[in-house]
Structure 1
Amino acid sequence: MTMPLRDQKTVLSVYRQLCWAAGLNINGRHTADELAVRYLHLISDVMAEHELEQALLVVDECQRLSPLQFNVFAELYDRLRSIQKTLMTVFVGNDPETWRLIDGMDSDQYAHIHGRFFLHRRAFSGIQSAKEVRYCLAQYDALRYPEKSGRTYVEAFVPQAAAAGFRLASASDLFWRVFRGYQQRFKIGSWGMQSFSITTNTLLSDFLPRYGVDELGEAMIDEAIRLSGLVPSLVTRPTIDKSR
């Protein structure tokens, strides 16, 4: 599930989001208790169907939660444990908002929350080396769609070049060199995956089919990075002709 930003941070809103994320049909008349039961029945049914003892719930944008709302996940944990099932909840949030939220819950008032969650903390960064760039680009050379019978992503967009031996991973040092220029200029810690994906997808689906792989160079990658929004101020706002 992904937590939306709401003015009212209630337990009911968390249960609604859980049910929506699970594809359950709900309406504004459902209470928090009713939604909790429906969601627990869904989890229990799926676990029974697949003969599982543990379920995994990933909560994205967790920095949008309030301390009170974490009680929802404690309740889910307790109720499933009462029927000999366990629920592992992974909270994913942005740095540093998430750390401020968690560190603000160190008091005894939230001891029951800390007893179940926040036992393991790990910080994730974007791409930090040419080696990591190569690994990511290699997926475009290897992954297929459909998974077993389809073409690779490189073959789909530049089939002749791929047949001639072109591999996107071979440009990893070039990618990294151009990014390093941005990194040093704008003091960027790492290359976020959103920017990297947009950069690569723009190159593969637009620039390379249009201009050819022989034109792949720093200028082309630089333009793709600029369009990716790595540095928001570099994204050109479209001009609106008000005379029309």
Structure 2
Amino acid sequence: MIISQDTLDNYFVSNEFNITTPAIMELQKQVFRWVSDGTPGSIIYGRPRIGKTRAILYIASVLKAKYGRELPIYVLNATEHIAKDKFFYSELLKVVGHPEFDKGTVSMLKERLLNSLFTCACNTKYRKIILFIDEAYNFTEKDFKWLMDIYNNLNLKNIHLYVFLVGSEELIARKQALILAKQHQIVGRFMVEECHFHGIQSAKEMSICLANYDQPLEIVGEQISLAKEFFPDAFLDGKRLFSCADTLMDEYLKIMKEIGIPSASEIPMMYFVNTIKYCLNNYGITGKKLYFPTDEAWRNSIFNSGYVAAERLYFNVPIG
């Protein structure tokens, strides 16, 4: 079966596709520890495009698989907004799946949300609720105060809410601003612990990521190894993409030096995935039909992944 480029593109942007990177496994252990230790809130931060959103979706799925209905888990995607209590409660009601998320007064919405959260956790073994807030730097001081009120109301009913704030380095700046504003209750409740989530930092990590493409993945209902699909002869001869890690990392380091960004920079997962996708489509059996990716193929794939333009922008490096 030869996968079309459209099918591959759709698969890579879907929530079904997830590379279990070392950073994700490290974060998973941290989240499990926070829940076990009773840490009410923590910050998960990192630079843009490194895979934070996919990481929390993956970890949420692992938690659901482990605990099932005994541990309700929700993910809120916070957007830029004017802080209004009605909007706050309405957004959380959407997340918990309540059909009447925008009907009634503010007090009715709040009561509806509290009842929904209490109902989903009151008869569970742990009486806990986990809430991931993605792009949490969009939360204002007022949002955090309303969230703290929800936390306190649930706590009075012996329901424990765990809040994990996810976002860019702006989250750390938001924490510092709240400290300066003497909002210690908010910081103490939701921001005590921090976890720095990172992209690919070494050839070893890259090798673990590449191994995902060697192993069978469920794509359009079938178990397919992308390495076998696009480089069939090399795969039959025992070659695997994970063995390209040193070569690919060397090409990244060369390009970092050429464009003038720090050689210790982490590689964002978004552009790593784009690099692999470009290589498969353009140098595999549906493209130039290479036996196996060459140094030049990897280099061209990096340049066509969006990586160079994004890194120049992130590090404020001028062109030329």
Q: TM-score range by the shorter chain?
A: 0.7 to 0.9
- Paired residue for 1:114? 187
| CA distances 1:215-242 after superposition (whole Å, capped 9, x unpaired) | 512322222222222122799xxxxxxx
Following the alignment from structure 1 to structure 2, what is the Cα–Cα distance between the partners of residues 91 and 158? 41
- 1:40-189 to 2 correspondence within 5 Å? 40-48=114-122, 51-95=125-169, 97-107=170-180, 109-145=182-218, 150-184=223-257, 185-188=259-262, 189=265
Following superposition, the deviation at residue 122 of structure 1 comes to: 2.2
Uncovered stretches (5+) of structure 1, i.e. residues with no partner: 236-244
1:204 aligns with 2:277: no
Which SS does the other structure have where 1:87 is aligned?
Answer: strand
Which SS does the other structure have where 1:115 is aligned?
Answer: helix
- Paired residue for 2:78? 3
Q: Relative to structure 1, is the Cα distance of residues 215 and 55 closer, same or farther in structure 2, using a 3 angstrom cutoff?
A: same
Structure 1 vs Structure 2 CA RMSD: 3.0
Give the share of equivalent positions with the same residue, in percent.
22
Letter in 1 for 2:99: N
Q: Relative to structure 1, is the Cα distance of residues 159 and 99 closer, same or farther in structure 2, using a 3 angstrom cutoff?
A: same
1:195 aligns with 2:271: yes
Letter in 1 for 2:88: V
| CA distances 1:104-146 after superposition (whole Å, capped 9, x unpaired) | 1114641221221111012222211111111111122235317
Letter in 2 for 1:80: L
Q: Relative to structure 1, is the Cα distance of residues 20 and 171 closer, same or farther in structure 2, using a 3 angstrom cutoff?
A: same
State the TM-score, normalized to the length of structure 1.
0.81
State the TM-score, normalized to the length of structure 2.
0.63
- Choose between structure 1 and 2 for higher RCO, CA contacts under 8 A separated by at least 6 residues: 2
Given that residues 183 and 190 in structure 1 are in contact (C-alpha distance below 8 angstroms), is that contact kept between their aligned partners in structure 2?
Answer: no
Which SS does the other structure have where 1:101 is aligned?
Answer: helix
Following the alignment from structure 2 to structure 1, what is the Cα–Cα distance between the partners of residues 88 and 215? 39
Which SS does the other structure have where 1:231 is aligned?
Answer: helix
Q: Relative to structure 1, is the Cα distance of residues 203 and 120 closer, same or farther in structure 2, using a 3 angstrom cutoff?
A: same
Following the alignment from structure 1 to structure 2, what is the Cα–Cα distance between the partners of residues 227 and 37? 51
Number of aligned positions between the proteins: 233
